[in-house]
Every structure is written in structure tokens, then in C-alpha cells.
């Protein structure tokens, strides 16, 4: 007899799942019954939050959902923070958990790991939460989950399986096959309306977000056809490659870039929420889009949030960009402002670069050193100063190579487990795995420090670049700027090098560009996790001439 838990594993294999993150427990062992003989790899984090962050990082580099097996009760409360981050950034994640037996759901009898309503608890951080009341419903609910991942705005999905359903006879389901859906195409009427406005625009501009991550080629060609400057959100970095003459960067929150946006007569916003953490990091609410706004999004609701559009198109970003380009190419060459496009972008970039202060330049030097030393590197960031800086100053050669937790939900501790997942998700289609660097501060690292042991155990050569400023410096500045006496921000800083070495990692401290370059190159060849500590004060002193 094949149990529901065993059939679940086979069905996941059919959907292309190759990695599962989870910590086995007495309420999830039936999920593991068929795992050892499957083709899927199991990675054991040291906390369920780590499992969720690993699945998140995996999904961002692989482009398909990360999958977690999570225990009832505390496992689910632990993973909700990671689900919240993935929900905010539209990242596909499948969380499969156990739950009390059907006859005991909501019973309040003090059962092990019992919650009054586990599904309701996680409802706010997932596209949907479903309680599987019969093994026979398993193929349908999995099809529904992958329909969200494939065809809608991708977000976490939670499926909980009662303990008695997990062991049900499911032989009849062994012949079930995956059901996949295609994303919505671009409606011709809306495409024609948008193309008409873009065709006559003299100063068009494109705002692209993480929802357009799969539209790099089409979006680049569209921008070039329009000669439209392009601003990218943090999750969209790399859609236009670094050095492209139309690339503004990710500086929409700065006054100079806002002035450029306000000067545009038509703004095409594609795959972006137009939300605070990408467009208003000063939290002043000053972003204005006076031009004609065109919005493309896979989520109908999102097309009318934050800023109302003149025309909205519900579609996959790639198909929309291709359709717009095709429509525009059929029309007569449009009039345009000769001082717009690449000329204005070049002027803006010179202005911004001249305004970067010494700390910004020193931190950018550190990031540039990583990019130069490790071609193709994926940089996974936490909420820490060099990441905030890189959000503004750094451009990437391609998509899916820069993402972090400093935007959206904004959690701490994300970068280390997410970098582990990102490494596992790399090397798509048999390609070589790119090196993965975790950028994290001393405060954030202490949230998920035990995941170093997970990386050692799984032989994952993630490189942790630790920016040590001995506390929560950004929050301390925030308090001081508001005349609040700092409390709770000057935390104890442990010996991270010793801790990392005790866990089986290679670890060292560096203070110069040359030592950092040598350290990361050595880490790639080592085949095990490496921690490289950079003391902020020392680095700033060494790089002061910058």
C-alpha cells in the first residue's frame, strides 16, 4: 500500500521538485516515508524559519517554487516570517505541514503541537491555505498550488495534511499526472491603447519590478525602441544589464531620479507594485507620476493600487512586453525629445555619482570587489548598510543575481539561509553553479547563525561576508536623528570567526580590498562555507581616500 505521504512525494517529483527543506518531527515522519527512495534532495536547517528562507532563495535563483516539509504548531509559527518575506516579494513557495487528525481539529484538548486553527494563522502570508480532508483530493490541491505558481502572482501556498490522512491508502493516486497552466497573454485592446500612447510620447519612461524578472530580453528591446530610460526595483536588478545607456538604476527614491520620472509624459510600469520600499525609502511620500501611467501586472488588483493608471493590462510581463514591441514596430517612427533617453540617463548618473558620500563609496568599493573577483556571483543580502548602499549604487549584469530582505517585508536574518537556498537553486539546466555571497550585518547574522552548521552539513560553499558595525547601527542613527536616547541597539558582538570555525567553516577577518579579493577567490576553490568578517571602522579607515 502506498500512503498519502508516499504519493505526495511522487507527485512532487512529477512537478519537477528536486529539493525539500525541513526538520523531521513526530508529526511529519510520514512525509518522509518515500523521500529516501526519491530523486529529491533533503536539506535540514536548524530552524523552520531557515527552511522558509532557504526555499525563498532557491526559488529566486531557480525560478520555480521552493518546497518545505514543516511540523504542526511550532514549525508553522516558526516559518511564518519567511512566508511573509516571500509573500511580500511574490516568491513561489510550497509549505506542506501536518496537522491534528480530522476528528481532533480545533478540539482544544491539549494535543501535542496543537493550534486552534493553524490554517487561519498562516492565511495572511500565503495565496491560500488548504486542509486536505481526504487523500483523494491531493492531486487537485497540488494542481491548484502550481496553478498559482505558474499562472498567477506567485506567492506561498500552504497545504496541511491531518495525521490520519497522511497514512491513508492512496494507491489509486499513483497514476496521477501534473497539471500545468500558462500565464495570461496580453489583451489586444489594452495593448493597442498602450501602444498608441507610447507611440506619441516624447519623453517615455519605464518602471520595471520583480514581476518582470522573466522579461529581460523583451523589456530591453522595448526600451531601446522607445529610447525610454528604465528604472528597476531592487528585485528587478539586471533586467537591463549594467552599463546599458538607458539604465537609470534603482534610485527611484532619490530626488534627482524622481525629477526624471516627473518629466516623463508617459510612464510604463511593468511588474511593479509602485510601493514604498522601492520608491520611497525616505518614507516621505513624495513620489509623483504626473504623466500618463500605463500599468502591466499579472495581478488585476495590483494594477490599481498605489497609483491609478490611464490604461491597465493584466498579463504576463514577457508576453505584454513582446506584444507592445510588436505593435509599436508596425507604426510609423514617433517624434521624440532628442535630449531624452540615453542623454538624460547619462546626465542623471553623473549627478548621482557626484553626490555619493565617503561611506557610500567605501561600501560600493567592497561590493565592486566582489563582482570583479567572482564573475557571475549571486549576492544575497540582509538588512545591513552595504546592502542599502548596493540597492542604490550597484547594477548587475543579469537578473536573479541581487536580492535581499531590506525591501518588502524587511526581516533580519534572511541572507544566510536564503544564500544556502540560492546556491542549491543555481546551475539551472545543467549550467555551472555561480558562486553565492551572503551579505549580512553582525546583528542580522545572530538571528540565523546556526544555519552555518546546515551549510557545512550539506557541503554548500556559501560565502558569508559579514559587515560588522557592532550593533544595530542604522536603528541607532534613526533614534539619534529623532532625538531618542539609543536603547537596545548596542548589542554584544561575539567572536564570529571563532564561532564559524567551531561549526566547521573556514573563517577570517580582512581589512583591505586586496585581502577581500584573495579571500573570496580562495573561498570558491575551498568547497565548504567561508565566513569573511569586515570591521566597518577598519574598512572605512583603509578606504577613506575613496
Average pLDDT, the chain: 93
Spatial strand order of the sheet with 19-22 comes to 41-43, 19-22, 66-70, 93-99, 156-162, 128-131
Number of Cβ within 10 Å of residue 367's Cβ equals: 21
Q: Which residue's C-alpha cell is 552555518? A: 452
Check residue 279 and give its pLDDT: 83
Is residue 453 over pLDDT 70? yes
- Residue 282: is its pLDDT beyond 80? no
- For residues 216-252, one letter each, b for 16 or more C-beta atoms within 10 angstroms of the residue's C-beta and e for the rest, the string is bebbbebbbebbbbbbbbbbbbbbbeeebebbbbbbb
Q: Band of the pLDDT at 428, cuts 50, 70, 90?
A: low
- Between CA 390 and CA 364 the distance in angstroms is 6
* Confidence (pLDDT) at 105: 76
Between 29 and 42, residue with greater pLDDT: 42
Check pLDDT > 80 for residue 286: no
Tell me which of 228-232, 332-336, 379-383 is least confident. 332-336
Cell 493590462, residue? 313
Give the three cell numbers for residue 313.
493590462
Inter-residue contact 8 to 96 (CB < 8 Å): yes
Compute the C-alpha angle 301/306/310, nearest 5°: 75
Buried b (16+ CB within 10 A) or exposed e, 17-50: bbbbbbbebebbebbbbbbeebebeebebbbbbb
Of residues 334 and 292, the one with the higher pLDDT is 292
pLDDT at 233 over 80: yes
User: Per mean pLDDT, which range of 124-133, 175-184, 297-306, 348-357 is the poorest?
Assistant: 175-184
At residue 476, the pLDDT reads 87
**Mean pLDDT on 135-150:** 96
More confident residue, 101 or 161: 161
Stretch 304-327: mean pLDDT:
95
Distances (CA, A) of 196 to 210, 326, 331, 475: 26, 12, 9, 47
> What pLDDT, on a 0 to 100 scale, did the predictor assign at position 183?
87
Is the pLDDT at 471 greater than 60? The verdict is yes
In this model, does residue 285 exceed pLDDT 70?
A: no
| Across 226-238, average pLDDT | 96
Task: Give the helix ranges, DSSP H, for 410-512.
Answer: 415-425, 442-448, 451-457, 473-481, 496-502
At 82, the pLDDT band (50, 70, 90 cuts) reads very high
Residue 429 has a pLDDT of 60
- In the chain, what are the domain boundaries? 4-173, 188-350, 356-542
d(CA 312, CA 308): 9
Q: 3-class DSSP state for residue 468? A: strand
**In angstroms, rounded to a whole number, what is the distance separating the alpha carbons of residues 228 and 223?**
5
Cα separation of 219 and 230, whole Å?
9
Query: Helix H segments across 168-300?
Result: 188-200, 216-226, 255-263, 276-279
Asked if the domains at 4-173 and 188-350 fall in one CATH topology, the answer is yes
Statement: residue 283 has pLDDT above 70 = no
Q: Which pLDDT tens digit goes with each residue over 51-67?
A: 999 999 999 999 999 99
Cα distance between residue 420 and residue 427, in whole Å = 13
Residue range 163-182: average pLDDT?
89
The pLDDT of 40-53, averaged and rounded, is 97
Q: Does domain 356-542 have CATH number 3.40.50.970?
A: yes
Q: What is the CA radius of gyration of the chain?
A: 24
pLDDT given for residue 544 in this prediction: 60
CA dist 132 and 161 (Å) reads 5
> Above 90 in pLDDT, residue 354?
yes
Cell numbers standing for residue 81:
516570517
Cell of residue 68, nine digits: 518545505
Distance CA 171, CA 4 (A): 8
pLDDT value of residue 160: 96
* Average pLDDT rounded to a whole number, residues 320-348: 88
Which range, 185-189, 349-353, 470-474, is most confident? Answer: 349-353
4-173, what's its fold? Rossmann fold (3.40.50)
User: What's the mean pLDDT in 104-132?
Assistant: 87
Which string of DSSP letters, residue by residue, matches 73-96?
A: THHHHHHHHHHHHHHHTT--EEEE
Q: What is the mean pLDDT of residues 210-218?
A: 96
Fold type of domain 188-350: Rossmann fold (3.40.50)
Q: What is the pLDDT of residue 106?
A: 75
Which pLDDT value is given to residue 113? 78
In 189-325, DSSP assigns E strands to 204-208, 230-232, 247-249, 266-270, 292-297, 311-314
- Per-residue pLDDT tens digits for 502-546: 999 999 999 999 999 999 999 998 889 999 999 998 988 877 644
Amino acid at each position: 500500500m502506498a500512503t498519502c505521504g508516499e504519493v505526495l512525494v511522487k507527485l512532487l517529483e512529477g512537478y519537477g521538485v528536486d529539493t525539500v527543506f525541513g526538520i523531521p518531527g513526530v508529526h511529519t515522519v510520514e512525509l518522509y516515508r518515500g523521500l529516501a527512495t526519491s530523486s529529491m534532495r533533503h536539506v535540514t536547517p536548524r530552524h523552520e524559519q531557515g527552511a522558509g528562507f532557504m526555499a525563498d532563495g532557491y526559488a529566486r535563483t531557480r525560478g520555480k517554487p521552493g518546497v518545505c516539509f514543516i511540523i504542526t504548531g511550532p514549525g508553522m509559527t516558526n516559518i511564518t516570517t519567511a512566508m511573509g518575506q516571500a509573500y511580500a516579494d511574490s516568491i513561489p513557495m510550497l509549505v506542506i505541514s501536518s496537522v491534528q487528525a480530522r476528528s481532533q481539529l480545533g478540539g482544544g484538548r491539549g494535543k501535542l503541537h496543537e493550534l486552534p486553527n493553524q490554517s487561519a494563522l498562516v492565511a495572511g502570508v500565503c495565496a491560500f491555505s488548504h486542509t486536505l480532508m481526504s487523500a483523494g483530493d491531493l492531486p487537485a490541491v497540488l494542481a491548484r498550488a502550481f496553478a498559482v505558481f505558474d499562472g498567477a502572482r506567485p506567492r506561498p501556498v500552504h497545504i496541511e495534511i491531518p495525521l490520519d490522512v497522511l497514512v491513508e491508502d492512496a494507491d489509486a493516486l499513483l497514476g496521477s499526472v501534473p497539471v500545468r497552466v500558462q500565464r495570461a497573454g496580453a489583451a489586444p485592446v489594452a495593448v493597442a491603447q498602450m501602444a498608441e500612447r507610447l507611440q506619441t510620447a516624447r519623453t517615455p519612461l519605464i518602471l520595471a519590478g520583480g514581476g518582470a524578472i522573466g522579461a529581460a530580453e523583451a523589456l530591453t528591446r522595448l526600451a531601446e525602441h522607445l529610447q525610454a530610460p528604465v528604472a528597476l526595483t531592487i528585485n528587478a536588478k539586471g533586467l537591463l544589464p549594467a552599463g546599458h545607456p538607458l539604465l537609470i538604476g534603482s534610485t527611484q527614491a532619490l530626488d534627482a531620479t524622481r525629477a526624471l520620472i516627473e518629466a516623463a509624459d508617459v510612464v510604463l510600469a511593468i511588474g511593479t507594485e509602485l510601493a514604498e520600499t522601492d520608491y520611497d525609502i525616505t518614507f516621505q511620500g513624495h513620489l509623483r507620476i504626473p504623466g500618463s501611467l500605463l500599468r502591466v501586472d499579472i495581478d488585476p488588483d495590483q494594477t490599481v493600487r498605489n497609483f491609478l493608471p490611464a490604461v491597465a493590462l493584466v498579463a504576463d510581463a514577457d508576453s505584454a512586453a513582446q506584444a507592445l514591441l510588436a505593435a509599436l514596430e508596425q507604426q510609423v517612427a514617433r517624434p521624440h525629445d532628442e535630449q531624452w533617453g540615453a542623454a538624460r540617463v547619462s546626465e542623471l548618473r553623473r549627478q548621482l555619482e557626484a553626490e555619493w558620500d565617503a561611506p557610500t563609496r567605501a561600501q560600493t568599493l567592497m561590493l565592486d570587489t566582489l563582482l570583479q573577483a567572482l564573475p557571475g556571483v549571486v549576492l544575497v543580502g540582509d538588512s545591513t548598510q552595504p546592502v542599502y548602499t548596493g540597492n542604490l549604487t550597484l547594477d548587475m549584469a543579469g537578473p536573479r543575481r541581487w536580492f535581499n530582505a531590506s525591501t518588502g517585508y524587511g526581516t533580519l536574518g534572511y541572507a544566510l539561509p536564503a544564500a544556502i537556498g540560492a546556491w542549491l537553486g543555481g546551475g539551472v539546466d545543467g549550467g555551472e553553479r555561480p558562486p553565492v555571497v551572503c551579505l549580512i550585518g553582525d546583528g542580522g547574522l545572530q538571528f540565523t547563525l546556526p544555519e552555518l552548521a546546515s551549510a557545512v552539513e550539506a557541503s554548500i560553499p556559501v560565502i558569508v561576508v559579514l559587515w560588522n558595525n557592532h550593533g544595530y547601527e542604522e536603528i541607532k542613527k534613526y533614534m539619534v536623528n529623532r532625538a531618542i536616547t539609543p536603547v537596545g541597539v548596542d548589542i554584544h558582538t561575539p567572536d564570529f570567526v571563532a564561532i564559524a570555525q567551531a561549526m566547521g567553516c573556514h573563517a577570517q577577518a580582512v581589512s583591505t580590498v586586496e585581502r577581500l579579493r584573495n579571500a573570496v577567490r580562495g573561498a570558491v576553490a575551498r568547497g565548504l562555507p567561508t565566513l569573511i568578517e569586515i570591521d566597518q571602522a577598519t574598512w572605512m579607515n583603509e578606504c577613506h581616500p575613496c
